Amino acid sequence: MIDLKFLRENPDVVRQNIKNKFQDAKLPLVDEVLELDARNRAIKGEVEALRSQRNSGSKDIGKLMGQGKKEEAEKLKQEIASLGSRIDALSAEEKEVEEKLLADMMVIPNIIDPSVPIGKDDSENVEVKRYGEPVVPDFEIPYHTEIMEKFNGIDLDAAGRVAGNGFYYLMGDIARLHSAMTAYARDFMIDRGFTYCIPPFMIRSAVVNGVMSFAEMDAMMYKIEGEDLYLIGTSEHSMIGKFIDQIIDEKQLPLTLTSYSPCFRKEKGAHGIEERGVYRIHQFEKQEMIVVCKPEESPMWFDKLWQNTVDLFRSMDIPVRTLECCSGDLADLKVKSVDVEAWSPRQKKYFEVGSCSNLGDAQARRLKMRVSGKDGKYLPHTLNNTVVAPPRMLIAFLENNMQPDGSIRIPKVLQPYMGGKTEIR
């Protein structure tokens, strides 16, 4: 959510930002917000004047009564009573105006960084850099679920009977590999100075509204029936929500946290053949990284965060590339985003395994997070990035580490988490 004062002073900038995100249907909201804001301020001004007039009149009544001027005092009482009715009516209108104003502000997209390329959707994202040499082996790489099945490592049929499509059973060495990746990612981030956290896996609606846009919420979140609780789609939600209504001492910044959690997502819509198996699922696990920092430091932390993911994948010899997300591919709260994609030898192309985002002060404003500094209070910036999401990481890992005989090589960094194994067969 952008700053109302900024919109009031820069409506054309906000309009152009909406156009840059190809959300022209939201353009009327700018004028509507300006009108609501003007009306809200006018109401506040009138209410303040009326209350002052009422307070002054109340004092005059006492004086008149003391002077024996009962008739004049009664007349003044009636006038003050009418002032009270007017104040009540204006206060009710003020509440309605403020609710509508907030609702409009919540759907106006955040101002994107000037460096963000302009484009309609993810097909116009821009490749930034490649890390590692993508290799296509001279033997066939099966589909990832076929690889797992050869190790008796996955059971989709049983999961379908138990929970439906979009779930899975992982077993044996494949399940162990999944856990090894999560544990390695945890220790990788701890070694980089991040504090390890395990957050709540459910959050209240106030936190949901604070950390994500309405469109994201509708597409992602599972609601707990009869409770003001939602299952988290990523631990970023509960980790940033940790600071709702809090005042943070500036001396504590930056807050650098890495969190583990299961994640639950609706994953609405139909997906292509490359998104069956464990590519798009309703339940998975993830290691995340979160930063809360001073506004001037967020560009630096943004670059550090996506680099962490690149370094993690490269430590396992998996080729990756970074993509700058274009304006139309950015969620409404995001200022800037970079996707990390891993190489798929089977598909002979890259696919997304992580996303790094700078949300500016949008989440802080929605959650009423503030920092207490030497020059007063201000809103911090929040950032998040995927360290590793093992289901997709498994795909990249299995394809890039398959050997001609069908065995899977275990990189040195993962061997301690696999009981010293150098390969699985």
Close Cβ partners of 144 (under 8 Å, ≥ 6 residues apart): 277, 278, 279, 346, 394, 395, 398, 399
Nearest to 417 by CA among 171, 179, 194, 197: 179
Strand partners, 370: 247
- What pLDDT is recorded for position 24? 96
pTM of the model: 0.89
CA atoms within 13 A on the CB side of 228: 5
What is the Cα–Cα distance from 86 to 57, expressed in whole angstroms? 15
The domains located in the chain, with CATH, are: 4-107 (1.10.287.40), 122-424 (3.30.930.10)
**Distance from C-alpha of 344 to C-alpha of 166, rounded to nearest angstrom:** 21
pLDDT band at 299, cuts 50/70/90? very high
pLDDT of 270 above 50: no
Across residues 215-242, what is the average pLDDT?
90
Closest residue by Cα to residue 148 from 402, 405, 388: 402
pLDDT, one tens digit per residue, over 138-156 is 999 999 999 999 999 999 9
Q: Tens digits of per-residue pLDDT, 88-147?
A: 889 899 999 999 999 999 999 999 999 999 999 999 999 999 999 999 999 999 999 999
* Contacting residues for 415 by C-beta, under 8 A, at least 6 apart: 421, 422
- Please name the residue that has the structure tokens 């009962």: 70
